Amino acid sequence: MGGPAVSTTTHRMTRRQAVKLAWQVQAQLRPGCERIEVAGSVRRKTPDVGDLEFVIVPKREAGLFGDASPGESLLDRVLGDLVDEGRLRRGERDGERQKQFVLARSGVKLDLFIVTPATWGVQLAIRTGPSNFSTALVMPRYRGGYLDDDLQISEGRAWRIPSYGAGIVDGTSAVALDTPEESDFLALAGGWVEPEDRR
């Protein structure tokens, strides 16, 4: 899954500036997204914001038989167009699960976390942060975290491990839990906490 992203940008904004910028970016990206939600410090309503983070389920074209086609998503095309138009510059990451850009006009870093409908609930909670809260979300209670001891986070999803202490999701004994919404995942980790109250 990888650890929570840590902001390294030196550009700082007020919350009001960040929210306005986030809405603009979201509107530009929406044509390439099935779902998109701002995460990070903007979602937590912190007064000082360093970068913009979004959790996204990309939109994919329907294949010949109505299934999603592999390869490039519509989000990739939207991002490519924004780069070609000079609105975005490519950042350090360009993977399947995380992409990074810089907004050309403002210099603000943009982190995009690419997820699936099945991983949406877990990933939105983790990517909202802050770091201490996200770390506790993926750790069992016996290690100081919030998860029941028979749960594990792997491949962006929550899994129930039948035998206590197994600790490895091997695809045969573990059971993937449905957490399509963030509230579904947080119910497994002690219950809902408003983003601005997460510590």
pLDDT for the residue numbered 170: 53
pLDDT of residue 64: 52
pLDDT for 121-173, tens place per residue? 999 999 999 999 999 999 999 999 999 888 999 989 999 887 655 555 555 57
pLDDT band at 7 (very low <50, low <70, confident <90, very high): very low
The pLDDT score that the predictor gives to residue 121 is 96
pLDDT: is 11 or 160 the higher one?
160
Rounded CA separation 44/132 (Å): 13
CA 6 from chain center: how many Å? 13
Residue 162 confidence (pLDDT): 76
In the predicted model, is pLDDT for residue 98 greater than 80? yes
Q: What is the pLDDT of residue 8?
A: 44
User: How open is the CA angle 196-198-199, to the nearest 5 degrees?
Assistant: 125
Q: What is the mean pLDDT of the chain?
A: 88
Model pLDDT, residue 61: 77
Label residue 12 by pLDDT band (50, 70, 90): confident
User: For residue 35, how many C-alpha atoms fall within 13 Å in the half-sphere facing its CB?
Assistant: 17
CA distances in angstroms from 20 to 25, 49, 124, 149, 163, listed in the order given = 9, 12, 20, 41, 48
At 86, which amino acid appears? G
Return the pLDDT at 79: 97
Q: What is the structure's pLDDT at 179?
A: 92
Single pTM value for the model: 0.86
pLDDT value at residue 173: 77
